[in-house]
């Protein structure tokens, strides 16, 4: 069942959103991307004559601390939706039930933090049932938590006849399908970030699906050292060297082209104020560490990306948080943006890559920026996500 097939006239839609947004010391929302992302689904229900009850978590509260109250996001949500969002100080029980019952078509109610109850993360069915009594229709639009088997994401769906994905969730699933199931070729994946260990299952799952795999960021040094290169004091996982060699051997078998950096920007300490130099990636002197890809690597990656018809980007090329070592990631962003402009479909996902494309102004120059880091990684690993399985059945 899709959102377009449901008649929302005079119905209450209970929507699981991801309003887990960052707050400053005055409890003001500093990045409203996730609230903005949920807008289309909420407005759809309101325009079709329904009312909306929003449920979300915020942070990891231990004892219902005020710091984690969803009350803090009400003003921002009201501004974005153009509707005064009502708030209730609980998510189950009499107070919540009364607030839900009193809701009129066209109105929006936000429930208090689901994680004020440990039953939420425990996937408790009685808690899920109590939540389900607040609405007539269930919509899951929280891709960022779809990989969690929580009460509000995976357990609750069984209590509804009418249930569907929200518009955001559909876009996420469609975008990943476009990359993983029905890509236009060549399909190029960029995997960056610090560690091979956090991406092993992703690499293993996509190795047979991609035509080209660009390995950047800190994890490249494990591959270089495994092949006998000198990497100085660069980040390395010594216990993953044999695995790196296995991945390279498997890539040969599957005709997947792996592209590693050939040169790097090196520094004599992990600091913006460090002395900097350049080196071939397999000739880094002792006492120096690679913190970004060099110019030759950027050109090499650019060429590979310009031939792509589908691009998946997960992880930065260097320590982009420090300005002197951000150029490799910026160059990747420019290359992906150019390929997209020339007709490639590009999907960016994973916390650091999303931060980078936003920070450097590429967010509107790629095809899709995923809102769920952990959920996207698990889909790339080939896992079935509980929040998706609960709706698909």
Answer whether residue 385 is part of any domain.
no
Residue 263, C-beta contacts closer than 8 angstroms, at least 6 positions apart: 278, 279, 280, 281, 293, 294, 295, 296, 297
Is the full-model pTM beyond 0.85? yes
Answer whether residue 389 is part of any domain.
no
pLDDT value of residue 295 = 98
Same domain, 220 and 153: no
Percent of the residues in the chain that have a pLDDT greater than 90, as a whole number = 90
Asked whether residue 188 carries a pLDDT value surpassing 70, the answer given is yes
Asked whether residue 351 carries a pLDDT value surpassing 70, the answer given is no
Q: How confident is the model over 191-198, as a mean pLDDT?
A: 87
Same domain, 150 and 199: no
Buried b (16+ CB within 10 A) or exposed e, 91-127: bbeeebeebbeebebebbbbbbbbbbbebbbebbeeb
CA distances from 51 to 11, 14, 112, 285 (A): 6, 9, 17, 64
Task: Please state the residue numbers annotated as binding site.
Answer: 18-20, 34, 57-60, 115, 148, 199, 290, 321, 350-353
User: Which range of residues forms the domain containing residue 156?
Assistant: 3-165
**Integer Cα distance of 74 and 19 in angstroms:** 10
Same domain, 271 and 344: yes
pLDDT value of residue 350 = 78
Same domain, 186 and 261: yes
pLDDT value of residue 380 = 87
pLDDT digits (tens, 9 = 90+) for 266-289: 999 999 999 999 999 999 999 999
Answer whether residue 196 is part of any domain.
yes
Same domain, 185 and 154: no
**DSSP-derived secondary structure letter, 293:** E
Domain boundary among 138, 165, 192: 165
Domain tally, the chain: 2
Same domain, 363 and 254: yes
Torsion sign over Cα 304, 171, 174, 341: negative
Answer whether residue 255 is part of any domain.
yes
Same domain, 9 and 85: yes
Give, in degrees to the nearest 5, the angle at Cα 189 between 366 and 378. 95
Active site residue ranges: 34, 195, 351, 374
**Integer Cα distance of 78 and 87 in angstroms:** 11
> Nearest Cα to 130, choosing from 86, 89, 95?
95
Q: Tokens at residue 172, please?
A: 């996420």
pLDDT digits (tens, 9 = 90+) for 15-59: 999 999 999 999 999 989 899 999 999 999 999 999 999 999 999
Answer whether residue 386 is part of any domain.
no
Same domain, 251 and 361: yes
Domain boundary among 165, 186, 201: 165
Residue 126: helix, strand or coil by DSSP? helix
Task: Please state the residue numbers annotated as binding site for substrate.
Answer: 18-20, 34, 57-60, 115, 148
pLDDT value of residue 151 = 98
Same domain, 85 and 195: no
**CATH number of the domain that 22 lies in?**
3.40.50.1260
Domain boundary among 142, 165, 188: 165
pLDDT value of residue 376 = 87
Answer whether residue 393 is part of any domain.
no
> Nearest Cα to 77, choosing from 23, 121, 148?
23
**Integer Cα distance of 310 and 368 in angstroms:** 12
Same domain, 225 and 335: yes
């Amino acid at each position: 069942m899709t959102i377009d097939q449901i008649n929302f006239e005079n119905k209450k839609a209970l929507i699981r959103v991801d309003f887990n947004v960052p707050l400053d010391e005055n409890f003001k929302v500093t990045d409203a991307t996730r609230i903005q992302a949920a807008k289309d689904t909420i407005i759809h229900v309101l325009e079709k004559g329904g009312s909306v009850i929003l449920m979300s978590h915020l942070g990891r509260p231990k004892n219902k601390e005020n710091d984690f109250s969803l009350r803090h996001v009400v003003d921002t949500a009201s501004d974005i939706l153009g509707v005064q969002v009502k708030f209730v100080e609980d998510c189950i029980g009499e107070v919540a039930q009364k607030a839900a019952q009193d809701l009129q078509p066209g109105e929006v109610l936000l429930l208090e933090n689901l994680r004020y109850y440990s039953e939420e993360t425990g996937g408790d069915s009685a808690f899920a049932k109590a939540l389900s009594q607040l609405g007539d229709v269930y919509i899951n639009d929280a891709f960022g938590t779809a990989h969690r088997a929580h009460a509000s994401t995976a357990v609750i769906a069984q209590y509804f006849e009418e249930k569907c994905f929200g518009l955001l969730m559909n876009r996420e699933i469609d975008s990943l399908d476009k990359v993983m199931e029905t890509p236009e070729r060549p399909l190029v994946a960029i995997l960056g970030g610090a560690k091979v260990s956090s991406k092993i299952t992703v690499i293993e799952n996509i190795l047979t699906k991609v035509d080209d795999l660009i390995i950047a960021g800190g994890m490249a040094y494990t591959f270089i050292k495994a092949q006998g290169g000198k990497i100085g004091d660069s980040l390395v996982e010594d216990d993953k060297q044999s695995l790196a060699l296995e991945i390279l051997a498997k890539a040969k078998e599957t005709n997947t082209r792996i592209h590693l950096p050939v040169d790097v920007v090196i520094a004599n300490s992990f600091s913006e104020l460090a002395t900097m130099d350049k080196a071939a990636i397999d000739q880094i002197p002792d006492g120096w560490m690679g913190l970004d890809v060099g110019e030759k690597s950027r050109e090499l990656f650019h060429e590979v990306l310009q031939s792509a018809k589908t691009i998946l980007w997960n992880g930065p090329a260097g320590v982009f948080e420090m300005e002197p070592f951000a150029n490799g990631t910026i160059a990747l962003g420019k290359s992906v943006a150019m390929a997209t402009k020339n007709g490639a479909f590009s999907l960016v996902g994973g916390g650091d890559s999303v931060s980078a494309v936003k920070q450097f102004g590429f967010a509107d120059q790629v095809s899709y920026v995923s809102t769920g880091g952990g959920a996207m990684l698990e889909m790339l690993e080939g896992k079935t996500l509980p929040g998706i399985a609960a709706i698909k059945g």
